[in-house]
Amino acid sequence: MPSVILFRPAYDRRSRSAPVFPWALLYLASVLRDRGLEVHILDEAVTPDYAPALDRLLEQARPAAVGVSSMTGDQIRHGLEFARHVRAKSTAAIVWGGIHPSLLPEQTARHPLVDFAVAGEGEYALAELIDRLAAGKDAGQIPGVYGKNGGEPQVDFVDLAQLPEIPYDLVDVEKYICVRHDIGARRYFEICTSRGCPHHCGFCYIESVHGSRWRALDAAQALEKIRALVNRFELDCVSFREDNFFVNRGRVEEIARGLVENGPKIKWAASCRINYFDKYDEEFVDLLKRSGCVLLTFGVESGNDRVLEFIRKGISVKAVLDVARRVQGAGIRGTYHFMGGFPTETPGEFIDTCRLIDRLRRLGPDVVVREMSIFAPYPGVGLIPECVSRGHVEPADLEGWIEMDWTNPRRPWLTARQSQLISDAQFLIARLAHPNGLVRGWANARWAQLLERGPRMRLPERPAVELLRWLRGK
């Protein structure tokens, strides 16, 4: 039986957060197994020392191909390490897929550690490629598959309802079930019922990958999937980890009513847009709460209306505050994500973002802002022309994208002082959520100073160094 190894590189080997379930690999595996292929999955997030297992699989299974799924950034580094290991010990074809190869398939396929790149939704394109490779045939022209001589794009999207059953037995699901004390969940797990997003945010890659098309299981299918997962893995909370769960309000309402009327009685969490929630009436919000909604995550990005318009977010600062108050009043925990370092953003506009974060934090203990991301000019995002006009040069090869990281504030359009200001805010926001009272007290004092002085604030050293010295003196 022909075999294939699917590998997900680590995002960040230093991360202590719970691993994200490898849905992309499981969807690929469902079609591969349906075609009669033997599938093995390695996830570096839960198997950091994967080399011995990989060596055994290369020797015993003798795969026709290995697949590497990668986003832009450090995941590429870890994916190349894996591919280098495979190339040294096997003749298996090395196939890259995921977000980054979907955005830059030709550049990805040119790399010496890549034989093929699959662009877009790869379930059927990868299966067709491996069928041909296992049979000793030339790959030929498969829509979505790129080789050294190029390829052709996919036109059609996958029908989620027609995908084969997910082969959960290929991974240790228990490694991805976690405790969430903040929402009182003992067995929290992620679920996926839709793909894509119809919006056009200038910092997001989704439009380039999904063509602004949103597709979903209908409410009955989603409820069936929820019940099956809850029963199989004894879950008490599910998180809808998808690009945009709330696109179709009627579908969400059906799912919520189904949970209220027929169960299972669980808690659930999802991401929502500010402009969606701003239009919800109290009856609908109450239904969400009664159905088990305990946590909603909102992407706010900026606290300045000009910047929000520039990045095509479709929201206002007033709407953010109105929604946060309503979420708080409904007894639902709200988490708010922010971003800094956009081209054209001034230091004063970034301080507006910090001030909005401060106003949200003061609404109550259930309002959470854990981190500040840095805008990264990933391939395919709408703001690329603005970035290029301000000195950004897109990398010419796969390795060049490794340092494109959302935590690194160095951008050609940012001065050293702006980068330092964003870095200070990142550090302090993380410390404000720290359980240690001394750390939080110090961070609150420094945060107040940043809000008051803003871009004029002079810090001779990074706050991290200053904090360590301060703690040592206690």
145-192: pLDDT as tens digits = 999 989 988 878 899 999 999 999 999 999 999 999 999 999 999 999
Q: Where do the domains of the chain lie, and which CATH numbers do they carry? A: 3-155 (3.40.50.280), 167-397 (3.20.20.70)
Q: Can you tell me the distance from the alpha carbon of 204 to that of 378, in angstroms, rounded to the nearest whole number? A: 8
Q: Is the dihedral of CA 30, 35, 40, 44 positive or negative?
A: negative
Distance separating the N- and C-terminal Cα atoms of the chain: 65
Q: What's the alpha-carbon Rg for the chain, to the nearest Å? A: 23
CA distance 401 to 96: 15
pLDDT beyond 80 at 464: no
pLDDT at 407: 76
Of 26-40, 203-217, 255-269, 450-464, the one with minimum mean pLDDT is 450-464
Mean pLDDT value across the chain: 92
Helical ranges in 291-404 per DSSP H: 305-310, 317-329, 347-361, 384-389
Tokens of 377: 């000019």
Q: Which amino acid, one-letter code, is at 350?
A: F
Model confidence at 323, pLDDT cuts 50, 70, 90, reads very high
Q: Which residues of 120-140 are buried (b: 16+ CB within 10 A; e: fewer)?
A: bbbbbbbbbbbbbbbeeeebe
Q: What is the pLDDT of residue 417?
A: 87
Angle at 179 between CA 176 and CA 184, to 5 degrees: 140
pLDDT for 460? 43
203: tokens are 């910092």
Q: Which two tokens stand for residue 344?
A: 């054209």
The model's pLDDT over 406-430, given as tens digits with 9 standing for 90+, comes to 777 789 999 988 998 898 899 889 8
Secondary structure (DSSP) of 197-241: -S---TT-SHHHHHTT--EE--HHHHHHHHHHHHHHHT-SEEEE-
The label of the residue with tokens 């001065």 reads 415
C-alpha angle 190-232-237 in degrees, rounded to nearest 5: 35
Segment 7-23, tens digit of pLDDT:
999 987 665 567 899 99
Mean pLDDT of 369-388: 92
Other Cβ atoms less than 10 A from the Cβ of 108: the count is 26
Is 167 buried (19+), middle (13-18) or exposed (0-12) by CB count in 10 A?
middle
Given a cut of 70, whether residue 82 has pLDDT beyond it is yes
- Judged against a pLDDT cut of 80, whether residue 465 lies above it is answered with no
In three-state secondary structure terms, 255 is helix
Yes or no: say if 203 and 339 are a contact pair by the CB < 8 Å rule: yes
196 CB-near residues (< 8 Å, 6+ apart): 157, 206, 210, 211, 212, 213, 214, 215, 243, 244
CA 371/CA 422 separation, integer angstroms:
11
Q: What is the pLDDT of residues 284-319, one digit of tens each?
A: 999 999 999 999 999 999 999 999 999 999 999 999
Q: Is the pTM of this model over 0.75?
A: yes
